[in-house]
Amino acid sequence: MFFATTAIDYTNGAPHIGHAYEKVLTDVICRYRRLAGDEVFFLTGVDQHGQKVQQTAEKEGVNPATFCKKNTKKFLNLWKKLGLQYDGWAETIDARHKACVQTILNDLHDRGQLYKKAYKGFYSVRQEQFLTDKERGEDGEFGAEWGEVVEIEEENWYFKLSEHVAWLRQFVESNEDFIIPAFRRSEVLNAIERAEGNDLCISRPKSRLRWGIELPFDTDYVTYVWFDALINYISFAGYLAADDAELPEFEKLWPANIHVIGKDIMVPSHSIYWPIMLKAIGFTDEQMPQLLVHGWWNIKGEKMSKSLGNVVDPDVLADKFGTDALRYYLVRDIITGKDADFNLDRLITLYNTELANSLGNLCNRSLNMTKRFLGGELKSFEYDSDDCIALRESLTKSTADYHEAMQKYDTSAAMRAIYSHVSYCDGFAQRNAPWELAKHEDKQDQLAAVLYHMVESVAHISILLSPVLPECSAKIQSQLLKPELSELLLDQLKWGLMQAGDQTGKPKPVFPRIVVEELPAE
Ligand code: ME8
């Protein structure tokens, strides 16, 4: 079983391109695993509680439940448009999740892991977190990243995080795979040093925040939004679920193979709070999940933010350029783990060059020439040549590179590997010039071989690309008159998917070129 989760997105606004990227990346990884024959469970969802939702709802004059349901719909609609194939959907206002959070809280309370104390200090409204002197900048002030900072004095419930910090350090040090990519480990180890001696405040008094899950043992309080949100990874995987809860069987899923998250929420929530929460609940080292930490899309080198007015709306882009064009760009132009600049010109250039001109052209001319010169039916042949051998080797190498990259979650390298074979095929067509061969009676065997090599390549590429371009792959396979290609598993991808005698269909452009004049005004 391959179990992948994404961060659950805040429902205080509409989804942006960063949300879309993370979900498409996870969808691509999961589709690839299904293609590899794995059983897969893909869990995604929304984070509906917390102060931000309460505050924004208040501003709009609606209650938080109505407000977050309205925004949740926007996420659901977008995921449908982008073709996400998820198996589980997490909404933190769900009663099953609430029951799981409260059971865990009661259990931790009974086992002396929670205590109440008074605290006077500074609090970041934006980050919904208490600040210590460690969060002050060099000038002694709290930086702009904390937003509005207020001084408050209140009693709250704390989780004994510090009791487990030594275990966590040892766990992270001895488990190289806990964080992918590996270069982020040192950041986590540094954060663990800073976490020393600090417990985690897991409650908010109702006098300040009502929109959350009530503490079962002290009803004047609701649960801190992060403590609630992180539990989604197990609650919606069936942890402690009633038999009739319509949730998966937890033992089959856990531990998650990857929690796909952005770099901003690696520390402290996912790499400190979450493993320690699991440990305190009773999970063993072998039951810890792995984190796949992706980078951020920036806009012209700047962070995307509402206040800068540079937020990119994936809904508009999908309508304008098509779902597959957007999916391709999102996993092709960023190296998993690193940041990248979101750039509409790049989206168009990559699409036009790699899909419309190269792959689209290869599909078109292969099918067109098969139709014109072979009457739309692949023929058997005896001919072979160094170029044909090299084409087969190119496909073998591209396929191997693609697998290696996909197994490392490096979707960009995987796309480049495929493009390399498409480029080989392009040169192959130019060198072998089937349109010339067709003119000679004595070259018919060679013609059959050349066109076969091209069409067979298209068949392979349609399968390899299907995790990223599900719609276009299906279109290509239907033009090949081989919809059954979609049912093949990766280890069945051997030379000979197409056979002499196979009919091929009429080519229709799968990747219509994007014409630049049609660009929406920025
Ligand atoms: O943090 N580029 O929700 P969120 C790439 N509810 N990814 C981006 C991005 C960008 N420009 N901006 C945001 C939360 N993200 C919590 C998560 S999980 C138990 C709770 C990513 O809506 C971000 O890194 O602010 C995170 O992984 C996800 O979008 C949701 O962010």
Among 93, 225, 296, the mutation site with the greatest number of ligand 1 atoms within 8 A of its Cβ is 296
Per-residue pLDDT reduced to its tens digit, 415-458:
999 999 999 999 999 999 999 999 999 999 999 999 999 999 99
Query: Is the model's pLDDT at 305 over the cut of 90?
Result: no
Query: Is the model's pLDDT at 519 over the cut of 80?
Result: no
pLDDT at 17 (0 to 100): 97
**DSSP letters for 110-164:** HTT-EEEEEEEEEEETTTTEEE-GGGB-TTSSBPGGG-SEEEEEEEEEEE-GGGG
Which pLDDT band holds residue 110 (cuts at 50, 70, 90)? very high
Q: What is the 3-state secondary structure (H, E, C) of 207-273?
A: CCCCCCCECCCCCCEEECHHHHHHCHHHHCCCCCCCCCCCCCCHHHHCCCCEEEEEHHHHHHHHHHH
Which pLDDT band holds residue 299 (cuts at 50, 70, 90)? very high
Nearest CA to ligand 1 atom 12: 18
Nearest CA to ligand 1 atom 19: 230
Cα(123) to centroid of ligand 1, in Å? 21
pLDDT at 442 (0 to 100): 98
**What does DSSP say about strands 221-223 and 203-205: parallel, antiparallel, or unpaired?**
antiparallel
Residue 379's φ and ψ, nearest 5 degrees, are -110, 155
Per-residue pLDDT reduced to its tens digit, 155-169:
999 999 999 999 999
Per-residue pLDDT reduced to its tens digit, 47-56:
999 988 999 9
CA distance 505 to 220: 68
pLDDT at 520 (0 to 100): 55
Nearest CA to ligand 1 atom 15: 18
Residues 6+ apart with CB under 8 A from 297: 17, 18, 21, 304, 312, 334, 339, 340, 341, 342
Query: Is the model's pLDDT at 178 over the cut of 90?
Result: yes
Which pLDDT band holds residue 132 (cuts at 50, 70, 90)? confident
Stretch 362-387: mean pLDDT = 98
Can you read off the two tokens belonging to residue 180? Answer: 């992918």
Per-residue pLDDT reduced to its tens digit, 480-510:
999 999 999 999 999 999 999 999 999 999 9
User: Closest ligand 1 atom, CA of 304?
Assistant: 11
pLDDT at 306 (0 to 100): 82
Can you read off the two tokens belonging to residue 100? Answer: 């799981």
Q: CA-based angle 483:485:490, to the nearest 5?
A: 155
- List residues near ligand 1 (CB under 6 A): 7-10, 18-19, 21-22, 47, 229-230, 232, 261-262, 264-265, 296-297, 304
pLDDT at 126 (0 to 100): 80
CA distance 475 to 466: 10
**What is the 3-state composition of the chain as percent helix, strand, coil, each rounded to the nearest 5?**
55, 15, 30
pLDDT at 436 (0 to 100): 98
Nearest CA to ligand 1 atom 4: 9
Per-residue pLDDT reduced to its tens digit, 270-289:
999 999 999 999 999 999 99
pLDDT at 518 (0 to 100): 53
pLDDT at 127 (0 to 100): 82
Which pLDDT band holds residue 325 (cuts at 50, 70, 90)? very high
Reference 491, options 420, 399, 412; nearest CA is 399
Strand order in the sheet with 129-131: 129-131, 114-124, 149-159, 200-201
Cα(265) to centroid of ligand 1, in Å? 7
Query: Is the model's pLDDT at 522 over the cut of 70?
Result: no
CA distance between the termini of the chain: 44
CA distance 180 to 407: 12
Predicted-complex ipTM score: 1.00
Cα(116) to centroid of ligand 1, in Å? 30
- The verdict on pTM exceeding 0.80 is yes
Nearest CA to ligand 1 atom 26: 262
Nearest CA to ligand 1 atom 24: 262
pLDDT at 334 (0 to 100): 98
Mean pLDDT estimate for the chain: 96
Type and span of the H or E element at 291: strand 291-294
Query: Is the model's pLDDT at 269 over the cut of 70?
Result: yes
Stretch 58-85: mean pLDDT = 97
Which pLDDT band holds residue 342 (cuts at 50, 70, 90)? very high
Query: Is the model's pLDDT at 521 over the cut of 60?
Result: no
Query: Is the model's pLDDT at 400 over the cut of 70?
Result: yes
Stretch 382-396: mean pLDDT = 98
Which pLDDT band holds residue 308 (cuts at 50, 70, 90)? confident
Backbone CA torsion sign across 357, 362, 364, 368: positive
Q: How far is CA 309 from the centre of its chain?
A: 25
* Domains of the chain listed by start with CATH number: 354-492 (1.10.730.10)
Can you read off the two tokens belonging to residue 128? Answer: 């919904």
- Cis, bond preceding 509 (omega within 30 deg of 0): no
CA distance 354 to 361: 10
Which pLDDT band holds residue 133 (cuts at 50, 70, 90)? confident
Which pLDDT band holds residue 205 (cuts at 50, 70, 90)? very high
